[in-house]
Structure formats: structure tokens, C-alpha cells
Amino acid sequence: MTGAGRTRTRSHTREIARAAVRAELAQVAFELFRRDGFDKVTLDDLATAAGVSRSTLLRYFGTKEDAVLAAFDGHDRRTADALRARPADEDDWTALRRALDTVIERYRQDPAGSLATTRLVRETPALNARHLEKQHSWRPALAEALAERAGTPGEVTLRHTVRAAAALDCLYVALDHWTASDGRLDLVDLLDEAFAALTGA
């Protein structure tokens, strides 16, 4: 292996290790928030519960909100990548719906954990505000992916932006209904129904 190859391997290994530690810290934080209440837990409490120093914790999460919302990291990128990978002859609305399967797969794999996380976010004003802010940042990524599908990368139109925003609103409404049902309703069916409502189907 060349020197450059070894450097890349070490860098990749460090990234994997960092991601594992971040996930473990996030899980500790989540359990503490659920037990004691988000507003009552401090960063020092989190560090103590995780067995790390406050400075170490801050290297992974700048705020308490970040420790919870880490569960949603990368959803925008994965959804945009899935959208780009859809068949070229598929209409944008169908492609958007199928691309969102990458998001709801997590909810299907771990419904209990996803429901608990969603509830914590919805019921905590500070978390809900930050989550809505993060969700709003998904729209440009999806709009750009739609522009690329149209063969005009970098030329995002009003149509692309509106479609991306509408698709994300369908996801949020479906998740709201799923959460209100205590996870009893099928999230895939809810998302299909939300998309169909905008097409008159």
C-alpha cells in the first residue's frame, strides 16, 4: 500500500471511530433526556453520564439540541442522492416519493426508538424549533437534485423548489399523523396518501 493509501485508510478509520463515539454519546443523551426531561439536563450532566469531559462532549455536540438531532443527520444528503438515482423517465413527483423511502426506512426498522425520538422533538420547543430549521435546509438539496434530473445542474427553478417543499411537507404531515397514532398507522401508507392528496388521486 502506498503512503497516500495508508493515509486514506487511517483517515477513514478515524471517521468510523468518531461516528461510533458520536452515536454512543447521542444515545446516552437521549436516554437522559427521556428520564429527566430535556430542559433539566445540562451539558455537564451529559458529560458525567457518558463518562467523558465536557470539552470532549463539545467536540461532538455543540449544544444539547445537536445531541438529539444527530439522529437526523445526513437525511437530506441521502434523500437527494436517492432522488438523483431514480430512473430518468420517472416523473419528479414519483421520484420524490420514492426518494423519501430512504428517510422512512429508519422508522420502519426501529419504530419504537423512532417514535420516542420524534415525540421528544415534538414536545420540546427548543428541539422542535431546531428540527424545523434543519428540515428547512433539506429543500435546497432536493431542488438541486431535481435540477440535475432535468439536465440543468445549478439552475434551480421555482418549480423545482415548490416540488421539493411540497414533498417535504407531505413527509412532515405523514410523520405527524404517525406519531399521533402512537406508531399504529403505517407510515408508508400515510406518506402515499399525503402525496396522493396533492395530485387529486
Of 32, 53, 68, which residue sits at a domain end? 68
Single-letter residue type at 57:
L
The H-or-E segment that residue 118 falls in is helix 111-123
The answer on 82 and 55 residing in a single domain is no
Q: Pick the closest to residue 166 from 80, 83, 97 (CA basis).
A: 97
pLDDT at 8: 63
Q: What angle do CA 59, 112, 67 make, to 5 degrees?
A: 10
Does one domain contain both 37 and 136? no
The predicted pLDDT at position 11 comes to 67
Print the domain residue range for 169.
74-199
Domain stop point among 68, 90, 108: 68
Give per-residue pLDDT as tens, 46-61: 999 999 999 999 999 9
Q: Are residues 26 and 99 in the same domain?
A: no
Q: Which of 19, 72, 63 is nearest to 41 (CA)?
A: 63
Residue whose C-alpha cell is 416523473: 91
- Least confident stretch, 12-26, 70-84, 91-105: 12-26
Alpha-carbon span 166 to 171, nearest angstrom: 9
- Cell numbers linked to 12: 477513514
Query: Are residue 178 and residue 90 in the same domain, yes or no?
Result: yes
Residue 188 has what pLDDT? 95
pTM over 0.85: no
pLDDT at 67: 87
Model pLDDT, residue 90: 95
CATH number at residue 122: 1.10.357.10
What confidence category does residue 163 fall into, taking pLDDT thresholds of 50, 70 and 90? very high
- SS3 labels along 168-196: HHHHHHHHHHHHHCCCCCCHHHHHHHHHH
Name the domain count of the chain. Answer: 2
Same domain, 13 and 94: no
Residue 97's pLDDT is 97
CATH classification of the domain holding 44:
1.10.10.60
List, for residues 107-156, the tens digit of each pLDDT value: 888 899 889 888 988 889 988 888 888 888 889 999 999 999 999 999 99
Rounded CA separation 135/141 (Å): 11
- Within 10 A of 46 (CB to CB), how many other CB atoms are there? 22
Q: What is the mean pLDDT of residues 159-165?
A: 95
pLDDT of res. 146: 96
Task: Quote the CA–CA distance of 60 and 164 in Å, as a whole number.
Answer: 30
Largest CA distance in the chain: 59
Residues 87 and 94 sit within 8 Å (Cβ to Cβ) = no
Q: What percent of the chain has pLDDT over 90?
A: 53
Mean pLDDT of the chain: 89
Task: State the average pLDDT over residues 13-41.
Answer: 86
Q: CB–CB of 94/70 below 8 Å?
A: no
Residue range 72-82: mean pLDDT, rounded: 89
Find, among 133, 104, 118, the residue nearest to 34 by Cα: 118
Confidence grade of residue 199 (pLDDT, cut at 50, 70, 90): confident
Is 189's pLDDT higher than 90? yes
CA 62/CA 67 separation, integer angstroms: 8
